[in-house]
Amino acid sequence: MTSEKKLKAEQRIGPHNIDIISLIIGSLLGDSHIEKRNKGFRLIFEQCNNNVEYLMWFHKILAIQGYCNEKPPKLHKRIKKKNKVFFHYRINTYTFNSFNWLHEMFYKWDSSQNKFIKIVPSNLNEYLNPMALAICFMSDGYKAGDSVRIATNCFTLHEIQELCKILALSYNLIATPQSGGVNKGHILYIHKKSIETFTNLVKPYMIKSLAYKLGKN
């Protein structure tokens, strides 16, 4: 593991196995983001303290395969709007030159904001396997009554509509965008008719502590 850390970013060229790719793809559909650095890119993953077991599981997978430091993430405190205190954990992977394709896939330059913004990739159907879908759900999903909702508020309505098409074509899931509230974008709503199919897809990849998100299924 030590020798991996000493490698320069341009020497970390992969190849990346399918589990790592699925982990990254699924988390990028949630709160994770890829940060551009001088000689490459790194993945940044954050979760609130309520989801610490999931974050530690996420960290363990990355650390075992040499993608980040072995030391467990520490709890951080952030003061948000109206002095609200937010506790969270953060994982930074090592910088990889070979993460460039993921950045190109998930980001586009927005000249009005003068920065890169995250998007739903046009070729997501090639990578959204059941494990990636489970990662996305564990990160930002929840059961609501007879349906499932996934917080996709950072994406545009059109992008979520395209994501719904991918879920329909790839897995026969009935999904639609749903308002997240005033000025809060849209969330992904998976219809109750598709809950059994969705559960069968993601359950094998979910950690036990988050099984409650699927309700009694």
Question: Model's pTM, two decimal places?
Answer: 0.86
pLDDT band at 8 (very low <50, low <70, confident <90, very high): low
Which residues are 48's β-sheet partners?
A: 88
* Together in a domain, 18 and 97: yes
Asked, for residue 214, whether it belongs to a domain, the answer is no
Please give the tally of structural domains in the chain.
2
> Do 67 and 99 contact (CB within 8 A), yes or no?
no
Whether 72 and 178 share a structural domain: no
Determine the average pLDDT of the residues in 129-155: 93
Query: The domain spanning residue 11 has which CATH number?
Result: 3.10.28.10
- Looking at the structure, do residues 112 and 154 belong to the same domain, yes or no? no
Residues 22-42 pLDDT 10s: 999 999 998 899 998 887 899
Same domain for 153 and 75: no
Per the structure, the complete domain to which residue 155 belongs is given by 140-207
CA-closest candidate to residue 22, choices 162, 136, 150: 136
Please name the residue ranges forming H helices in the chain.
2-6, 18-28, 52-64, 100-106, 130-140, 157-171, 195-202
